[in-house]
Structure 1
């Protein structure tokens, strides 16, 4: 697994943990940053995870609005928590990360959903992110 894939997975884990535990992402982020300091082999993936987490935090309202609009009948609170986390990472990459091609962001999110969530989650994540990827980008 590449460093960016690991970074996405770490970001998803942090978002999921914060959601399920009902604590701010910043709290889990601080714990993980401390842990990463003592594990040099995590440095590359952690840097990307941190970038994702800070980006998701900065654009959380916009991300959740896009998810609510394009999930077609699936309110955020009805989605499995892991799907919400995966989708938030994917939307951030699609809309605010200029160095990640849309096809890569979608493929990575779908693979995470297939691995971490329900049998139908891969198709669901693909559909939502595919619709969002078709939106015009902001100047």
Structure 2
């Protein structure tokens, strides 16, 4: 698994934890920063994971609006928490990180959904992200 893939997983864990606990993502990020300082072997995934979470926090309104406008028939509240976190990461990468090709952001998101979410999530996430990428 590449360092960026590990970082996406780390960001997913943080966003998911914040969502489930009902706390601001910055609080979970701060806790993870303390953990990162004591585990230097995980440093490669920390920098980009932190960048993702900060980007999602900074652009949360735009990201959630984009997801909602492309997720036909689904509200954010109705989606599984895992899917919300996966979509937020991928939409941030598609819209706000020019270093990541859209196809890579989508493929990584679909892979995460395949492994971590429901049987229908990968197809749903692929459709939403494909529509987001096409509308840029």
Scaled to the shorter chain, the TM-score interval is over 0.9
| Alignment coverage as a number of residue pairs | 136
- 1:68 counterpart residue number: 68
2:101 & 2:41 partners in 1: Cα distance?
26
1:17-28 to 2 correspondence within 5 Å? 17-28=17-28
1:117 & 1:4 partners in 2: Cα distance?
20
Q: Give the TM-score normalised by the residue count of structure 2.
A: 0.99
Structure 2 gap segments, 5+ residues each: none
CA deviations 1:49-68 (Å, max 9, x no partner) are 00000100110000000111
1:4 paired with 2:4, answer yes
1:38 & 1:60 partners in 2: Cα distance?
29
1:22-61 to 2 correspondence within 5 Å? 22-61=22-61
Structure 1 gap segments, 5+ residues each: none
1:41 deviates by 1.2
Structure 1 SS opposite 2:64: helix
CA RMSD of aligned residues (A): 0.5
- 1:127 counterpart residue number: 127
1:43-122 to 2 correspondence within 5 Å? 43-122=43-122
Structure 1 SS opposite 2:129: helix
Structure 2 SS opposite 1:98: coil
- Runs of 4+ deviating beyond 2 Å: none
2:49 & 2:10 partners in 1: Cα distance?
6
